[in-house]
Structure 1
Amino acid sequence: MAAQQDFTAMTCEPCRGGIPPMDRAMADSYLVQLPGWSIKGNPDRLERDFRFGNFREAQAFAMRVGDLCESEGHHAEILYGWGHCTVTFWTHKINGLHENDFIMAAKVNGLSDEPYVPASESMGDVSPTART
């Protein structure tokens, strides 16, 4: 079993490829440190579905995840709609899981704990649907 890691304190290291993806036993040992995430197969990837009270909250979360991914240089697949946002990580260059994917999943979990600020309050009334 892998030693307990503080994934949120780590930063992603560029993966240049040419290495094998993480084996499933190692991935499973890391997964226990990521509440809510699961490993989906072919290729192995981390996935979590987050739930929200409405579309705006899901969209705002998707944007925060995107900003985090851009700052770390490791990008997620993000799918969101009314009341949900699904985030998926895997390392394309090795067609499977890498430690970076676990780092990002832990950081995304941290985002889900942040309070939601509606776009209408943070950026002004940007659309008719942003009005309450």
Structure 2
Amino acid sequence: MNRRKLSEEEIAEKLKDLDGWTVKGKELTKRYEFENFAGSLEFVNKVGEIAEEHDHHPDITFGWGYAEIALTTHDTGGLTEFDFAVASAIDAT
């Protein structure tokens, strides 16, 4: 998969294929809502498995009823196709 930093135009185009994801600075982010803490924790554990499978690890913040995911490719200083692929994989859980 290409790890070239995407242009703003490429990012805008790829965002069209993702539901609920936004760009904040150099990160692709999304907040997920759950019924309780257990739901949040279960989701975070699934995201951890996806991250390991792809060898691409997001920042995760979670608590009672929510989880927030932030993806970026640190070595390029921005977003790459890889970030969007992992976001899609997370959404498929």
- Provide TM-score, normalisation by structure 1: 0.67
Amino acid at match of 1:100: F
Please state which structure has a larger fraction of its residues in strand. 2
- Which of 35, 48, 64 matches 1:53? 35
- Which of 18, 21, 29 matches 1:34? 18
Structure 2: unaligned runs, 5 residues or longer: none
Take 1:14 and 1:82, find their aligned partners in 2: how far apart are those partners?
Answer: 36
SS of the residue aligned with 2:83? Answer: helix
Detail structure 1 runs of 4+ shifted over 2 Å in the superposition. none
What is aligned with 2:85? 103
How many residues in Structure 1 have an aligned counterpart in Structure 2?
A: 93
Change in 2 beyond 3 A, CA 1:33/1:14: closer
Amino acid at match of 2:48: G
Please state if 1:87 is matched with 2:69.
Answer: yes
Displacement, 1:33?
A: 0.2
- Which of 56, 60, 79 matches 1:78? 60
What is aligned with 1:25? 9
- CA RMSD of superposed structures (Å): 1.2
Amino acid at match of 1:29: E
Amino acid at match of 2:53: S
From the CA coordinates, give the structure whose radius of gyration is larger.
1
